[in-house]
Structure formats: C-alpha cells, structure tokens
Amino acid sequence: MNSADLLPYVRFGDAFQAGVDWSREHLSTLFEGIAATVESLVEPLVDLLTAPPAIVMVLIFAGLGWWLRGWKFGLGTALGLGLVAGMPIWDQTMSTLALVLVASGIALLLAVPLGIVISESRRASAVVRPVLDLMQTMPAFVYLIPAIFFFGVGVVPGTLATVVFSMPPGVRLTELGLRQVDREVVEAGEAFGASPWKILLRTKLPLALPTIMTGVNQVIMLALSMVVIAGMVGAGGLGEVITTALFRAQVGAGFEGGIAVVILAVVLDRLTDSIGARTASAKAQRAMQQA
C-alpha cells in the first residue's frame, strides 16, 4: 500500500473552486466594472501608440533614450526599435507595450501604498509577506485560470493576471527602502516638530526612492514576461505572435517575436533605471537639505 493512501485527502482545491464560484455568482457587477475599467485604459493607449507611423515612435524613444542616457543609448534604441519596425509585428509590439504600462501602473498603485503600510507595522508585514511569497512562487500559468473564469479571454484577464504576478517586488522593495532610511534623519525631522505624514512624504520617501525605483523596474520586467504568457488567453501583442508560432512550429516567426520582446525589455529597463536614478538623486538631495 502506498503511504500516501494512509493520509486523508484535503480538498483544498474544492474549497478554492467553491469560493471562485460564489464570487462569480454574487460579484458579477464588480467584475464587469473591473473589466470595463481595464479595457478603457488599454484600448486608448494601444490606439495612441499605434496611430503614428513606426518611424515616428522609434525617433521618440530614441530621443528619450538620448536625453536620459546619452547618444550611445539613443542610437542603440533607434537601431533596436528600427529592427522591430522592419518586421511585420510593430503593432503587436506597441500592443504589448500598452499592456505592460497599464498592468505595471495598476500594480504600482497597489504595491507602493501597501509597501508603505507594512513598513510602518511589523504585524502587517508578518501577515503580508507569506501572501507575497505565494504570489511570487505560484507558476505564472496558474494565474490565467481564475482570470479566464472571471473575465473570459482577451485583454482583461491577461492584464489582471499580469498585475497579480508583477506586484510582489514593488511591495517588498518599497518596504525595504523605507526600513533602510537612517533613523537619525527621521529623528531630526521629529525634533523639528514635523508630523509623521510630512516625515514620510518629505524625508522617508525621497531617501527610499532609489530602492523603490528598483522595485518599479522589477515590476515592469515581470509584467513584460507575463504579458507574453498572457497571449495564450487572447491578450494579443507579442504573446499572440509567439504562441501562434509555437502551435504552428514556425521557428522564424517565434524568433522574431522573441527578439522584439528582448529589445523592448532592454529599452524599458534602461529608461526606467535612468528615470529612477535622476528622480531619486534630485529628491534625496532635497530631503537632506530640508533635514
């Protein structure tokens, strides 16, 4: 007899399924509102990014890269995105960019305030950390199952699954950055009679900004990786290109989609890193002067 047969079957999955069924039956209005909100964010952004000619968007990104990191990165951005524009997947690349921006924006709107809260409370941190561990270790494909169940196929389930998958680094690094702020700087603000809210906004957050921006960068990178997987549920973009190539065994098309993802990832990584470095440096200097 197998030793596993001696153990009782814990129907954890059945309990989760029951919870999902109840939510779908009683919270349908909420899910419809969420779906409408996500669509109202993604679709106009896709239209905005795909409306100009590809060469215009390439020059815009190249100019932004030149301004933030210098002419070498600007030239590299122009060459990389120019290569993508030369392939028949430019619209899909911009659709993926739109999904990444929306999903990352929503994830950060949730992650940063949550990171602030748990940085101020050890108990809250103890409760939230196991949830973040679960979110980070859960296989990415698993997030697609409830997303499809609640929202069907399309952009909405892909975006929301991406939000859940990419949130944890934003929460963790926000908490870490705030906890690493020098206690003496905080005490100096308290000595001058500053309220906890002012200390948070004018001292802690500016000094923690480099670490927080690292979290922003990680959220964007995870969102990009998940958006490709979300192509399997009809989210479109480069995920659909790669998935179609996989099912049809089209090596060339899959390679083109993969190269486009890599180029987009490098551009977003370097741009967000540069924006974070500039913003963090300016605000940190201002905070130290005020302190």
Q: Are 231 and 144 in contact (CB under 8 A)?
A: no
CA-to-CA distance for 81 and 226, rounded, in angstroms? 21
Q: Are 226 and 140 in contact (CB under 8 A)?
A: yes
Q: Which of 159-168, 234-243, 278-287 has the lowest mean pLDDT?
A: 278-287
Whose CA is closest to 226, among 183, 154, 165, 147?
A: 165
Domain boundaries, the chain: 28-290
Q: What pLDDT score was predicted for residue 59? A: 92
Q: Which long-range contacts (CB under 8 A, 24 or more apart) does 102-105 make?
A: 102/38, 102/41, 102/42, 102/45, 102/159, 103/159, 103/160, 103/162, 103/163, 103/166, 103/223, 103/226, 103/227, 104/166, 104/216, 104/219, 104/220, 104/223, 105/41
Q: Give the predicted TM-score (pTM) of the model.
A: 0.84
Q: Among residues of the chain, what percentage have pLDDT more than 90?
A: 5
Which range has the top average pLDDT, 30-34, 97-101, 244-248?
Answer: 97-101
DSSP 8-state class, residue 154: S
| pLDDT score of 291 more than 70 | no
Q: Which of 78-92, 133-147, 152-166, 255-269 has the lowest mean pLDDT?
A: 133-147
> Which whole number is the average pLDDT over 215-226?
87
Indicate the CATH number for domain 28-290: 1.10.3720.10
CA-to-CA distance for 229 and 47, rounded, in angstroms? 22
Q: Which of 53-67, 181-195, 204-218 has the lowest mean pLDDT?
A: 181-195
Q: What pLDDT score was predicted for residue 106? A: 92
* H-only helix segments in 70-204: 71-85, 90-119, 122-137, 140-151, 155-179, 183-191, 196-199
The vertex-231 CA angle with 230 and 232, nearest 5°, equals 85
| pLDDT score of 270 more than 60 | yes
Q: Are 233 and 148 in contact (CB under 8 A)?
A: yes
Two structure tokens written together for 289: 């002067």
pLDDT tens, position by position, 102-132: 999 999 999 999 988 888 888 888 888 888 8
Q: Are 233 and 158 in contact (CB under 8 A)?
A: yes
| pLDDT score of 290 more than 60 | no
User: Residues 6 or more apart from 57 whose CB is under 8 A from it?
Assistant: 49, 81, 85, 94
pLDDT tens, position by position, 132-148: 888 888 887 787 877 88
Q: Are 23 and 150 in contact (CB under 8 A)?
A: yes
> Which whole number is the average pLDDT over 41-54?
88
pLDDT band at 7 (very low <50, low <70, confident <90, very high): low
Q: What pLDDT score was predicted for residue 109? A: 92
Average model confidence (pLDDT) for the chain?
82
